[in-house]
A and B are shown apart, each in its own frame.
Chain A
Amino acid sequence: MRYLPHSETERAEMLGVIGAADIDALFSAVPKSALKSFDLGLPAHSPEFLVEAHVRALAAKNHAAGDGPFFVGAGAYRHHVPATVDHLIQRSEWLTAYTPYQPEISQGTLQMLFEFQTQVAKITGMDVANASLYDGSTGTAEAVLMAKRLTKKSKVVLSGGLHPHYRDVVKAYLKDDPDLVCLSPSPEGQGDILSQIDGNTAAIVVQTPDFYGHLRDLKAAADAAHAQGALLIVVITEVVSLGLLEAPGALGADIVVCEGQSIGNALNFGGPYLGLMATRKDFIRQMPGRLCGETVDADGNRGFVLTLSTREQHIRREKATSNICTNSGLCALAFSIHMSLLGEAGFTRLARLNHHNAVKLARMLGTVPGVELLNKSFFNEMTIRLPVPAAPVVEMLAQAGVLAGVPVSRLEPGYPDVENLIVLAATELTTHADIEMLAECLHAAIEEDAQ
C-alpha cells in the first residue's frame, strides 16, 4: 500500500523489539468478541489511476457552475479566485501544519492569522476579529450565545431577512429557548424587528444585504437596540458587499458575523467555508474561537502566539465560551491571500463590478413579461416574483443549462406566500450573454407554464 512505509521484514523486526508474538498481541485489551470479528466487505486497496477514475466519474455527473449561465447565490457566491491563492494554500507548510500550538515553529500561520484578524477588523469596521469560525451560520449561533452572556438577558429576535438556514441553526443551538423570536420571512424587505425590542432583549440579529437582497438600515437598528440595552448582531453572507457598503462598525454594530467564502474560497457544494467574527474591544473575553496576538520572544523580536485561551475549552473545559476547537485555518489563509491581492483598490473595484452587473441583471429581468422585481435596494442579489410557482421553472431552466437562482420555497417550505419567488445573484463573472440567455429562457418557461 503506497502510503504505508513498512515492509513485512520491518514489521517483524519491530514486533521483535516490542516483544510481541504478533500484531494481535498489541490489541489484547480489546474484547475477543469485537476484534476482527467481521468481514467488512469493502473493496481492497486500489492504484491511484483507478481511484482517480472512480472519483472523476462521480464529478462528471454534476453540472459545474462554470458550465453555463449561473445566478445561484443565497449565502454562497461564485467569484473568481486568483490562481496564486490556490497555489499558495497547497504549499506543504500551510496545508499540512497543525493548529499553531508551538509558536516558535508556527510563525507563518500565526502571522497570517494576525494579518487576517486585522483585515477582518478593517472591512467590518470593528475593533477586533477572531481567527475564524466554521462558517457564517454557526458563527451567527455563537454570536447569539455571546450576546446573551454579555447582557445577561434572554430575549433574542431574528430578522425575517436572516438566511433561513442561519435561523434554523440558531434554533437548533437554542433549542427550547422560549425567548427566541424568529420573525416571518420578509421577502419585500418589510419587518417590524424594532418594535420587538424590550428591556429583556439581549440582541437583535439583522442581515444585510438580507436573504432577499434588500439593504437594511443598520443605524436605525443599532439605535433602537442600544436604547434598550440590547446588542445589534449584524450578519453578512456576501462579504464582497463590504467593498461598497458602509462598514457595520461605523453604524453601531456590536458583533458582526460574516460568511467569508466569497473571498478566496470555491463553492465546494457548501463547505468548507469560513466564519468571520468581529466585535468591540470590551467584548473580547466573551468572544468564542481562537485569537492570535502579538508579543516578543526571548531576544525581544516581534512574534505571534495564540492568546486569551482561558476562554477556550482546552483550558476552561465546562466553563469555556464555546466548545469550538478546530476552526477554518486554511480557508482563512485563502481569504487573507485573496484580500491582500485585492487590497483597497481591488476590493472596492470588485464590489462595484458586482453591483454593476446586478443592476444590469435587474434591468433585464424587468423587461421579462410577468416578472416582478421585489427590491428597491440591493448589492448583487435580488428577489423576483413569477406569475407561476418558481421551483418547476428553475428546474426547467436547469435542464436547458441555465442555473437561474434559488426558489425560495426550497428553504421556506412552510410558507406558501414564497412559492413564486426566486433569489438570484450576479457577480463579476456574470456576462451580458448570460443575462440575455436567462431572460430568454425565463420568458419561454413562464409562457410554457401559462399554456
Chain B
Amino acid sequence: MSMNTQGRPTGIGTSGSTAASGSALIPDEPLLFEIGDTEHSGVDLPEVKIDGSFLDGFERKTKLDLAGLTEPEAMRHYVRLSRMNHSIDSGMYPLGSCTMKHNPRLNEKMARLPGFSDIHPLQPVSTVQGALELMNQLSHWLLTLTNTAAVALSPKAGAHGELLGMMAIKAAQEAAGQAHRTIVLVPESAHGTNPATAAFLGYTVKPVPAKADGTVDVEAVKAALSPEVAAIMLTNPNTCGLFEPQVIEIAKAVHDAGAFFYCDGANFNAIMGVVRPGDLGIDAMHINLHKTFSTPHGGGGPGAGPVVLSEALAPFAPVPFVRKGEKGLELVEHVEEHALGRVTAFHGQMGMYVRALTYMLSHGGDGLAQAAQDAVLNANYIKARLQHIFSVPFPDYPTMHEALFDDSFIKDAGVTTLDFAKAMIDEGFHPMTMYFPLVVHGAMLVEPTESESKQTLDRFCDVMVELATDAKAGNTARFTAAPAKAPRRRLDETRAARQPVLKWEKPADLPQAAE
C-alpha cells in the first residue's frame, strides 16, 4: 500500500504520481476507518459498572465496529480534508441564486455565548427572556424590511419555509371555503423546490410561460388564473436575475381571482432595504437567513427560512411565536384548534437568529440598503464587462444581483457550459451556477454578492474573457480535460449512481465476486 507524506496509507487508486497522491501542499487523506480502529479514542471517560437492572434486557449485543481517533489524529484528519474544499474565505464563490457572501466572525462569536448556545428549548420561559427578546428584535427587522404583518421564525431552511408558507395558504383557502382550489401556478424558471413544495401539499402544478424578455407576463398569469387556482409561486427578483416589472399588476390579478401570492425570497439580497416586498402585494415570503443575512452555508446547511406573512395569512402562522405578557415575554406553544400547528420541534434555528441579528445590527438599515445596491452594482459590472464576448439572453433590463449568460457564445466551439465551468476551477474560481434556470440553454448564472472588491471582480472578468477567447479559438482540450489543478480530476457521476457505494465497508466484508 502506498504511503503519503504523513506515513499514512493513501488507499487510493493506481496512479501514485498525480497530485492526488498527497504530495507537497495538496493533501490527500484516507477514510477515518482506514486510519482509526475500535480501540483508539480521543476522549477520556471513566469506565463505570452497570448492573442492567433498568435496561430490561435491551443491552446492545451486536458490535458497533466504530473507528476512533486520538485528538492529534482527528485534528490532522479534518484539517487535511478541509483543505480539499473551496470556500468563500479562500476565493470568490459566484454561485447564482446561492448568495455566497462574506460570513462575519462576530456572528460566530455571538452565537457561541453560553447565554444562547447553552440554553435548552424547554427550560422555563422565565429563564430565557433574553432569547425571546432576541427573537422579537429579529422579527422586528424582518417585518420592517418587508413591510408585512407577521413572521413565522421556525422553518429550518428555505424549502421548509416554502412548505410552511404554502401550508398557511392552503389553510386560509380552506377556512374561506375554497378547498376546491387545487392548482398552483409556477413559472418555468422557478427553483425546483417551488414545484416540489406545491406537489408535496397535493397541489397540481401549472407552469406559467415567460415572455421573450425573461419576465413573467401579467396577461399569461391572468389567462392561467381560474376559480381552481389557490396561489402563484413567484420568485422576485426572478431566477434570470431580473426584477419582475409587472409584479404589482400580477399581485392584483392574483388577489382579484381569490388566490394568494407566494414569493420565493431566495433573491432578497438584491432588494433588502431598497424595496419592501409587502409593497408589491406579496402574501408570504421565506427569507433565507443563510443567504441574505450571512449565516454560514456550512457545506450544505444548516439554514433558516423564516416566513413573513400578510394580514390575510397572519392568523395561520404556526406555533411557536413570542408575545408580550404580564410577566415579560411569553412563548406561545399551543393554540386550541389551530389550522396549522407546528412544523418543527422546539422553536427553530436560534443559532441562526443570533447570527442574522448580529449581521443586521452591524449593517444597520443604511448598510443593508448599501449592501443590496453593491450586490446589484457588482452583477451589472460583470455583465457590462463580459457582454461583448458572452451571450446575454435577456438584455432588455438591467440585471439585479446576478448576471445570466447562455451558451450560444461557445455553441460551435466543442465546449459545453460544464466544460467551461470546470476550466474556471483551474483558474482559482468556483464555477457559477450551471444549467439553471432551465429556461435558458446552457445557463451560466453568476452572483458575485456585495462582498467582492472591484479588484476581484476585475480579475474574475479578465479570466472569464480569456477563457471565452480560448474556447472560441478552438483550444477545447483545456476545457474538456479540466480541472487539472484540483484535488481530483472530473469524477464519474454515472458510475456513482449506477453502482451506489454509500458507506465504507471493510475490504474483508465485501463480496469477493459478483453476487
Tell whether B98 is near chain A: CB-to-CB under 8 Å. Answer: yes
A129-137, A197-205, A431-439: which lies at the interface: A129-137
Tell whether B309 is near chain A: CB-to-CB under 8 Å. Answer: no
Residue of A13, A17, A56, A84 near B113 (CB, 8 A) is: A56
> With A34-B279, A111-B31, A117-B503 as given contacts, are A395 and B124 in contact (CB-CB < 8 Å)?
yes
Residue of B163, B352, B363 near A1 (CB, 8 A) is: B363
Q: Would A377 and B32 count as touching, CB distance under 8 A?
A: no
Residue of A40, A293, A333 near B145 (CB, 8 A) is: A40
Closest B residue, CB atoms, query A175: B167
Please provide the chain B residues from 280 to 337 with a CB less than 8 Å away from any CB of chain A in the complex.
280, 290, 296-304, 318, 333-334
Q: Give the number of A-B contacts (CB < 8 Å).
A: 719
Q: How far is the CA of A125 from the CA of B318 in the complex (A)?
A: 36
Q: Would B450 and A37 count as touching, CB distance under 8 A?
A: no
Tell whether B452 is near chain A: CB-to-CB under 8 Å. Answer: yes
Closest A residue, CB atoms, query B66: A344
**Which A residues are in CB contact (< 8 Å) with B75?**
84, 88
B218-226, B253-261, B404-412, B491-499: which lies at the interface: B491-499
Q: How far is the CA of A403 from the CA of B102 in the complex (A)?
A: 38
Please provide the chain B residues from 30 to 86 with a CB less than 8 Å away from any CB of chain A in the complex.
31-33, 36-43, 45-50, 53-56, 58-69, 71, 74-75, 77-79, 81-86
Q: How far is the CA of A370 from the CA of B9 in the complex (A)?
A: 61
B293: min CB distance to chain A, Å: 12
A147: min CB distance to chain B, Å: 16
Q: Would B345 and A305 count as touching, CB distance under 8 A?
A: no
Closest B residue, CB atoms, query A378: B54
Residue of A43, A78, A326, A345 near B290 (CB, 8 A) is: A326
Tell whether A233 is near chain B: CB-to-CB under 8 Å. Answer: no
**Which A residues are in CB contact (< 8 Å) with B198?**
318
Most chain A C-beta atoms within 10 Å of own C-beta, residue among B158, B370, B422: B370
Q: How far is the CA of A292 from the CA of B352 in the complex (A)?
A: 26
Q: How far is the CA of A99 from the CA of B385 in the complex (A)?
A: 29
Q: Would A318 and B205 count as touching, CB distance under 8 A?
A: yes
Q: How far is the CA of A294 from the CA of B137 in the complex (A)?
A: 45
Q: Report the interface size class on chain A.
A: 35 or more
Q: How far is the CA of A350 from the CA of B46 in the complex (A)?
A: 8
Q: How far is the CA of A102 from the CA of B257 in the complex (A)?
A: 43
- Binary contact readout B390-411 vs A (1 if CB under 8 angstroms, 0 otherwise): 0000000110100000000000
Q: Would A171 and B362 count as touching, CB distance under 8 A?
A: no
Tell whether B20 is near chain A: CB-to-CB under 8 Å. Answer: yes
Residue of A34, A74, A333 near B299 (CB, 8 A) is: A333
Tell whether A11 is near chain B: CB-to-CB under 8 Å. Answer: yes
Tell whether B227 is near chain A: CB-to-CB under 8 Å. Answer: no
Q: Would B66 and A270 count as touching, CB distance under 8 A?
A: no
Q: How far is the CA of A46 from the CA of B14 in the complex (A)?
A: 56
Please provide the chain B residues from 434 to 470 with a CB less than 8 Å away from any CB of chain A in the complex.
436, 450-454
**Which B residues are in CB contact (< 8 Å) with A78?**
118, 120
Residue of A106, A268, A284 near B502 (CB, 8 A) is: A284
**Which B residues are in CB contact (< 8 Å) with A29?**
215, 242-245, 397-398
Q: Would A268 and B301 count as touching, CB distance under 8 A?
A: no
Q: Would B31 and A100 count as touching, CB distance under 8 A?
A: no
Q: Would A62 and B131 count as touching, CB distance under 8 A?
A: yes
**Which A residues are in CB contact (< 8 Å) with B366?**
1, 44-45
Most chain A C-beta atoms within 10 Å of own C-beta, residue among B64, B110, B454: B64
Q: Would B380 and A20 count as touching, CB distance under 8 A?
A: yes
Instruction: Rank and list the top 4 A-B pairs by shortest CB-CB distance, nearest first.
Output: A343-B68, A59-B115, A330-B298, A270-B346
Q: How far is the CA of A293 from the CA of B248 in the complex (A)?
A: 46
Tell whether B512 is near chain A: CB-to-CB under 8 Å. Answer: no
Q: How far is the CA of A86 from the CA of B129 in the complex (A)?
A: 26
Q: Would A346 and B297 count as touching, CB distance under 8 A?
A: no
Tell whether B377 is near chain A: CB-to-CB under 8 Å. Answer: yes
**Which A residues are in CB contact (< 8 Å) with B149?**
none
Q: Would B42 and A346 count as touching, CB distance under 8 A?
A: yes
- Binary contact readout B112-127 vs A (1 if CB under 8 angstroms, 0 otherwise): 1111111111111011
Tell whether B208 is near chain A: CB-to-CB under 8 Å. Answer: no
**Which B residues are in CB contact (< 8 Å) with A444?**
none
Q: Would B115 and A60 count as touching, CB distance under 8 A?
A: yes
